[in-house]
Amino acid sequence: MDRLADIAALSSGPDDTAAIAQAIARVLKPNDVLVLGGDLGAGKTTFTKALGAELGIVEHITSPTFTLHQQYEGGRLTLHHLDVYRIDQIEEVIDLALPELFESEGAVVIEWGDTIAPALPAGYALLSFGFGDGDDDREISLLAVGPDWTARVPVLRDALADRLITDRQDA
């Protein structure tokens, strides 16, 4: 059976997405990689802003769509924020020096990272952002890849308990 997600949560607005980001920020460790995928404009940057704020970063986090990589210091962890949406040439992916980044002490967030799957490390959390029924409704799911994130799924399930979407297979 395919495992599409370990956790699926409903967000009813940007503040809800921020709350989900805060819960994930609290379990974030050095070296972690978050891969953000899903629909265009569904809230990946909104999520990353709240994640950074929860880490204690005071600098304003902006969308790295054109800069590809931004680095933020001053929080509990250094935050590397990447957006590979524009990347259409393998050379540009190589220029990002991802292997070095994945070995750094910081946390790495990659918008559209699911599009460069072969360049990703062995373990990461894949977050998918999708639109829901209402204008501000979003479905945010998390798939743990590797044992390190799998071990954190129960903690995150507890933290997000009141937002969880019931597993459709059980419904």
Q: Closest approach of Cβ 71 to ligand ATP, in Å?
A: 18
Question: Which CB sits closer to ligand ATP, 32 or 128?
Answer: 128
The reply to whether 152 sits near ligand ATP by the rule CB under 6 A is no
Q: Which does 72 bind (CB under 5 to 8 A by kind): Mg ion, ligand ATP, none?
A: none
The reply to whether 46 sits near ligand ATP by the rule CB under 6 A is yes
Question: Which CB sits closer to Mg ion, 67 or 122?
Answer: 67
Q: Closest approach of Cβ 48 to ligand ATP, in Å?
A: 8
Q: Closest approach of Cβ 139 to ligand ATP, in Å?
A: 9
In terms of C-beta density within 10 A (0-12 exposed, 13-18 middle, 19 or more buried), how is residue 131 classed?
Answer: middle
The reply to whether 63 sits near Mg ion by the rule CB under 5 A is yes
Count of chain residues binding Mg ion (CB under 5 A): 4
Question: Which CB sits closer to ligand ATP, 133 or 170?
Answer: 133
For the sheet with 7-11, list strands across it: 7-11, 138-145, 124-131, 33-38, 107-111, 79-83, 69-72
The reply to whether 136 sits near ligand ATP by the rule CB under 6 A is yes
- Site residues (vs ligand ATP, CB under 6 A): 11, 13-14, 16-17, 40-46, 63, 111, 129, 136, 138
